[in-house]
Structure 1
Amino acid sequence: MGPGADVNGLGDAVVYLNDPFNWTRPNGILELLGEHLRISVIAVLAGIVVAVPVGIALGSAGRGRGAVVVLSNVSRAVPTLALLTLFAVSPIGFGATATTIALAVFAVPPILTNTYVGFRGVDADVREAARGMGMSRGQIVRRVELPLALPLVMTGVRTAAVQVVATASLAALVAGGGLGRIVALGFGQQDYGQIIAGAFLIAVLALLTELLLVLLSRAVTPGRRTSPFSSGRRHPAAGPEPTAAGMPL
């Protein structure tokens, strides 16, 4: 596709996006957007339900670093498309269910890693002071550790959500819904304007997801969280974001 085709494709994309019929018709942009969001939200929530409790348990106990690194790296190494292919020949089959499960697996690593690092980095003196005040284990987690670890937990959720929204376009490859269907149909019809329009919508949705979760993170963590029991040591949440390959422990 040469420069002339690029220009024509951009023009066709603008025309496609400015046509109200493309937004409101059955299987139009609005309907596909709703499907895309539904798949993404369910996948991220499933990832949170699985990863956060495991990260809290291991991080609070101060052990399991190797297991977290291995689990995160293995999950990252398995391509979502490969999982979808395996599901296609299993009872799960094609469709939105297969895509949601695959994306949930994809969401686990960043949430698990950041939750583990956030809770693992809570000052031991803080925990001891809380115990000395008669707090139960559950109270320490909810009232002391969680506020301190929350910035890193939210960073993991934000990373997972953006990745899931961007990758949910693969649903179109397994008879699922979502904005990826616009791109897939564009390829099938050799309609470069439709391909560009679909890619643009997915990119904008990912950026809006990032922005929304940044605002949410600031709302639930207004400034650097500190504990009345803190010994003054800096919490890892104030430093660079960790990765599964190099957690700052």
Structure 2
Amino acid sequence: MAFLGVHPLAGAAGTPGTGLLAADEAPNPWFDPSYVTGNWDTIVGYLGQHIRLTVAAVALGALIALPLALLARRGRWLSGSVLGLSSVVYTIPSLAMFAFLAPFTGPLSATTVLVGLTLYTLVILVRNFLAGLQGVPADVREAARGMGYGPARLFLRVDLPLALPTFMAGLRIATVSTVALVTVGVITGNGGLGQLIVGGFNSNFYRAEIVTGAVGCVLLALVADVLLAGLERLLTPWTRAVRT
């Protein structure tokens, strides 16, 4: 009879040979350093793809969101329309989004994922950019106009510096959110570290692969947030003076 999970044909004291391990003793740990070292090139490749998609999506989202926020600031009707449109886009499920984009981007590819991620960033970036611009005191803007500031100079010298903390807050939120959303791209084969998570589930619930992908996503989000927080402090030294 089997005892303590050792097969009846196993050697004495469970010595290796024809013995079988019990299910709870199978070599499937939650974290295995040998898996990381043995698959380092693959992990780094997925990490690079994850970073590229995140940076590109947030950068493109910011380039689109800023003009939309400037347009929305012109009136309450425009503000409601722009914010409403960006919110509607965010409610579209990722699978449906990729299906809508496929006729325009071609077969499901990294471009399809990138466009979808960029659209998802807009609901965060447009709201934060608009909030930052609306937070600029009207009397400060009027004073700048009285000093001869044109629209471009007014934006660069007055609006942008005063709205920058809110802008950066939006970029931090959008970046962390995008790091998580990139994993959805696994359905097109472009999911970055999400490839490891799904690969682990497809490999009979291989825990080390799943945990490596999940922990990698969390660490990437934390590093990105810390870097953006440091960039914010570097770009807005006057806010540190106010806090102290």
Same fold (TM over 0.5): yes
Q: CA deviation at 1:16?
A: 4.8
Q: Equivalents in 2 of 1:135, 1:35: separation in Å?
A: 43
- Does 1:42 find its partner at 2:56? yes
The answer to whether structure 1 residue 148 and structure 2 residue 187 are counterparts is no
Tell me if structure 2 keeps the 8 A contact 1:51–1:112: yes
Residues 202 and 16 of structure 1, relative CA distance in 2, 3 Å threshold:
farther
Q: Is the 8 A contact 2:53 2:114 kept in 1?
A: yes
User: 1:38 & 1:32 partners in 2: Cα distance?
Assistant: 10
Determine the structure 2 residue equivalent to 1:127. Answer: 141
1:200 maps to what in 2? Answer: 215
Q: Give the AA of the match of 2:98.
A: L
Relative to the length of structure 1, the TM-score reads: 0.79
2:15 corresponds in structure 1 to: none
Cα 1:31/1:39, change in 2 over 3 Å: same
Partner Cα separation in structure 2 for residue 106 and residue 118 of structure 1: 20
Residue identity matched to 1:15: P
1:207 Cα deviation after fit: 1.3
Q: Is 1:13 equivalent to 2:27 in the alignment?
A: no
Question: Which of residues 112, 123, 142 is equivalent to 1:98?
Answer: 112
Alignment-mate amino acid for residue 118 of structure 1: G
Asked if 1 retains the 8 angstrom alpha-carbon contact of 2:105 and 2:111, the reply is no
Determine the C-alpha separation between the residues in 1 that align with 2:202 and 2:114: 24
Contact preservation (8 Å) 1:110, 1:156:
yes
Cα pair distance change 1:77/1:177, threshold 3 Å: closer
Matching residue of 1:65: 79
CA distance in 1, matches of 2:233, 2:224: 14
Name the stretch that deviates more: 50-59 or 111-120: 50-59
- Percentage of pairs with the same residue: 35
- In the alignment, is the contact (CA less than 8 A) between 1:84 and 1:102 conserved in 2? yes
Greater mean deviation of Cα atoms: 132-141 or 79-88: 79-88
The correspondence for 2:128, drawn from 114, 119, 139, is: 114
Q: CA deviation at 1:105?
A: 0.5
Distance 1:48-1:113 versus aligned 2 partners, 3 A rule: same
- 5+ unaligned residues in a row in structure 2: which ranges? 1-22
Output the CA distance in 1 between the equivalents of 2:94 and 2:230: 28
- CA RMSD in angstroms comes to 2.4
Question: Rg: which structure is higher?
Answer: 2
Equivalent of 2:200, from 172, 186, 203?
A: 186
Matches of 2:147 and 2:170 in 1, distance apart?
31
Q: TM-score, normalised by structure 2?
A: 0.81
What is the 5 A alignment of 1:19-38?
Answer: 19-24=36-41, 28-38=42-52
**Which fold has the larger relative contact order, with Cα–Cα distance below 8 Å and residues 6 or more apart in sequence?**
1
C-alpha deviations, 1:98-148, integer Å up to 9, x for none? 110100001111111111111112111111101110111111111011111
Letter in 2 for 1:20: T
After superposition, the Cα gap between the structure-2 partners of 1:73 and 1:132, relative to the gap in structure 1 and judged at 3 Å, is same
Is the partner of 2:108 in helix, strand or coil? coil
Q: What is the total number of aligned residue pairs between the two structures? A: 217
Give the one of 142, 145, 151 matched to 1:137.
Answer: 151
